[in-house]
Amino acid sequence: MSTTPLIHVVDDDDSLRTALLRLLGAAGFEVRGYASTGDFLLYPLPDRPGCLLLDVRMPGPSGLELQAALQRQGVALPVIFLTGYADVADSVRAMKAGAVDFLAKPVERAALFDAIQRALACDAVQRTARQEAEQLRARFASLTLRERAVFDRVITGKINKQIAEELGIAERTVKMQRAQFMVKLGVNSVAELGRLAERLRRLSD
Amino acid sequence: MSTTPLIHVVDDDDSLRTALLRLLGAAGFEVRGYASTGDFLLYPLPDRPGCLLLDVRMPGPSGLELQAALQRQGVALPVIFLTGYADVADSVRAMKAGAVDFLAKPVERAALFDAIQRALACDAVQRTARQEAEQLRARFASLTLRERAVFDRVITGKINKQIAEELGIAERTVKMQRAQFMVKLGVNSVAELGRLAERLRRLSD
DNA sequence: GTGACTATTGGACGAAGGGGCACTATTGTT
DNA sequence: AACAATAGTGCCCCTTCGTCCAATAGTCAC
């Protein structure tokens, strides 16, 4: 069920990165180290719980640029920054972009583990939310255009007769399509249908 | 309709505060200046759109402490920090606590107005969300215990007969209470009722 | 006790939803 | 050309819902 979290460490300082990997590994996490932004982006990201410990200043693309790139790609992996240079502008930019924390090197063990815990909690919430959204979208994607048209009108409270007239079809047909998408959506009552519709609407806006 | 936003400026530096007030006033905002955290907290906060420009280091309670106090009181006024001392720890703490931005003095006009614009947008979103939540809660608060019991079962798709048996009352009575809360909640169909129920559930968790 | 008020109930009728059965038209397949 | 497969339809029956008219029982103030 619960896979052990995978923690990615991106830092060009070999000795620090190795120390971090050892520390986190000893704490029971699965870990992967990368010496640069490019190394990290080289292979596709496995779809599993985790977070990213990211150095800010490195040869090549900076940690901030990596964070922005991940955002553009729609990757929601929580990021914890580690930096040796105290730069307020960097920290603010990172936090505005959604970083979980921004820690100064040398980082204290307690602060690091606290940040990781928050990052993993954040990731877990995001993952379940995304998963539920996917399931919901999938269910609605199986509806035909006609069924979807009837659905849209049912959830606004219209009665079959009105729907039939609006769509230029027989009331009997409305009943059929209605019954069909009730099965497809896995609901047994109009009330549940309305709740499902509201959950779908939340995803859109 | 749209009140001009009210911008609060808390800074112990009289000349800077005055300059900020003049600048923002000239830009069309309504402004109020405070020389300390205490001054700001002295009077109740008017309930209107706005944001808070807050210095970090001041004699007495710091800006960060004020931010924390506002959070504890449930005040959601967006905060933009201004600081003369570049301190990464402060900036991270402020941003983690939800600050809109954290700007170094001397602050550029463009950066300031950009931050203010984002803060006001954020405030507007929060205010409408809170207002809708209030209205929703108010509508549900008008339901009697019995009506609420029937409501809970209607939205799970139970039919009147089942509800009547569960609650130990006649089906006829269920119908009546059902009609009553439909009026109270201002909906015309079970589908809308379900959507309303889902919106209410969102507020709880 | 009396009257006002609320909650609850019974019976009945029309409107609406749900679904079974059979027919038709269109489309794609062999 | 013959043959499914599918969507749309008409007819009919049953259940459920919404509502009107009326009646009963409990509570509270005076």
Percent of chain B with pLDDT over 70: 99
Residues B149, B85, single domain; the answer is no
Percent of chain A with pLDDT over 90: 90
- pLDDT mean over A10-29: 97
Q: Of B89, B95, B188, which is closest to A157 when you measure between CB atoms?
A: B188
Closest residue, chain B, to A157 (C-alpha): B189
pLDDT band at residue B204 using 50, 70 and 90 as cut-offs: confident
Mean per-residue pLDDT of chain A: 94
Q: Is residue A137's beta carbon less than 7 angstroms from any atom in nucleic acid strand C?
A: no
- CA–C1' B128–D16 (A): 39
Q: Which of these three, B85, B101, B130, is where a domain ends?
A: B130
Nearest CA among B133, B149, B130, B131 for reference residue B200: B133
CB-contacted nucleotides of strand D (7 Å)? 7-12, 16-20
Q: Is residue B188's beta carbon less than 7 angstroms from any atom in nucleic acid strand C?
A: no
CB-contacted nucleotides of strand C (7 Å)? 7-12, 16-20
Q: What is the domain range of residue A164?
A: 142-204
Per-residue pLDDT at A204 exceeds 90? no
Counting Cβ atoms within 10 Å, is residue A113 exposed (0-12), middle (13-18) or buried (19+)?
middle
Per-residue pLDDT at B3 exceeds 90? no
Q: Is residue A184's beta carbon less than 7 angstroms from any atom in nucleic acid strand C?
A: no
Closest residue, chain A, to B83 (C-alpha): A88
Residues B102, B194, single domain; the answer is no
Residues B198, B108, single domain; the answer is no
Residues A113, A84, single domain; the answer is yes
pLDDT band at residue B1 using 50, 70 and 90 as cut-offs: low
**DSSP code at position A6:** E
Residues B107, B153, single domain; the answer is no
Predicted pLDDT at B144: 87
Phi/psi of residue B162, each to 5°?
A: -65, -45
The total of structural domains in chain A comes to 2
CB contact under 8 A, A191 and B192: no
- CA–C1' B167–D14 (A): 26
Task: Give pLDDT tens digits for B160-183.
Answer: 999 999 999 989 999 999 999 999
Threshold 0.75, pTM exceeds: yes
Mean per-residue pLDDT of chain B: 94
Chain A with chain B: Cβ pairs closer than 8 A = 91
- pLDDT mean over B150-164: 93
Per-residue pLDDT at A203 exceeds 90? no
Task: Select from A95, A101, A105, A178 the residue whose CB has the most chain B CBs within 10 Å, as the one to mutate to test that interface.
Answer: A95
Closest residue, chain B, to A118 (C-alpha): B96
CB contact under 8 A, B194 and A199: no
Task: Give pLDDT tens digits for B52-98.
Answer: 999 999 999 999 999 999 999 999 999 999 999 889 999 999 999 99
Task: Give pLDDT tens digits for A177-194.
Answer: 999 999 999 999 999 999
B91 vs B202: CA distance, rounded Å:
32
CA A161 to chain centroid, in Å, comes to 42
Domain-located, residue B1: no
pLDDT band at residue B205 using 50, 70 and 90 as cut-offs: confident
CATH at B169:
1.10.10.10
CB B15 within 8 A of CB B61: no
Predicted pLDDT at A59: 95
Per-residue pLDDT at A99 exceeds 70? yes
Residues B107, B17, single domain; the answer is yes
A32 vs A46: CA distance, rounded Å:
11
Domain-located, residue A136: no
Task: Give pLDDT tens digits for A46-55.
Answer: 999 999 999 9
Residues A89, A157, single domain; the answer is no
Residues A51, A26, single domain; the answer is yes
Residues B96, B72, single domain; the answer is yes
- pLDDT mean over A109-115: 97
- pLDDT mean over A55-76: 96
Predicted pLDDT at A1: 55
Domain-located, residue B137: no
The chain B residues in contact with chain A (CB within 8 A) are: 86-89, 91-92, 95-96, 101-102, 104, 154-158, 187-199, 202
Residues B115, B166, single domain; the answer is no
Residues A125, A175, single domain; the answer is no
> Cα dist. A53→A58, A68, A120, B199 in Å?
13, 15, 12, 37
Q: Of A88, A157, A192, which is closest to B102 when you measure between CB atoms?
A: A88
Q: What is the 3-state secondary structure (H, E, C) of chain B?
A: CCCCCEEEEECCCHHHHHHHHHHHHHCCCEEEEECCHHHHHHCCCCCCCEEEEEECCCCCCCHHHHHHHHHHCCCCCCEEEEECCCCHHHHHHHHHCCCCEEEECCCCHHHHHHHHHHHHHHHHHHHHHHHHHHHHHHHHHCCCHHHHHHHHHHCCCCCHHHHHHHHCCCHHHHHHHHHHHHHHHCCCCHHHHHHHHHHHHHHHC
